[in-house]
Amino acid sequence: MEGEGASVLRPAVAMEAVALGAGRRRAAHVDPDAPRPILEGDGYAWQPVTAVENHAAALRFLHPPLPAPPSRPVPPGGPTAPGTGRHRRT
């Protein structure tokens, strides 16, 4: 540490989307068209990251689609090709 007063930042804990609206926090499905800020927990407080237009956009931001796995070439004949193996009925 550089000194006694040096602040130590904790790693980001989580991200969440909160519906903007009056009153208590409610479930996401109650008002799916409401804009939502994306918040990130830094271990001490929730910090705003960005804002999105609705619940569907918040889900896309928080859980982006996984990249497609690399495609492997299909072997000639494939696993269902005719053959005389012991596992095949004749």
Q: Distances in Å between the alpha carbon of 87 and those of 49, 80, 81, 82, 83?
A: 57, 11, 12, 11, 9
**Domain ranges (residues) in the chain:** 17-62
Query: For every one of its 90 residues, what pLDDT tens digit does the chain have, with 9 covering 90 and above?
Result: 444 545 555 555 688 888 877 777 777 778 888 899 999 988 788 899 999 999 999 999 999 988 888 888 766 665 665 665 566 555
Positive or negative, the Cα torsion across 68, 72, 78, 80? negative
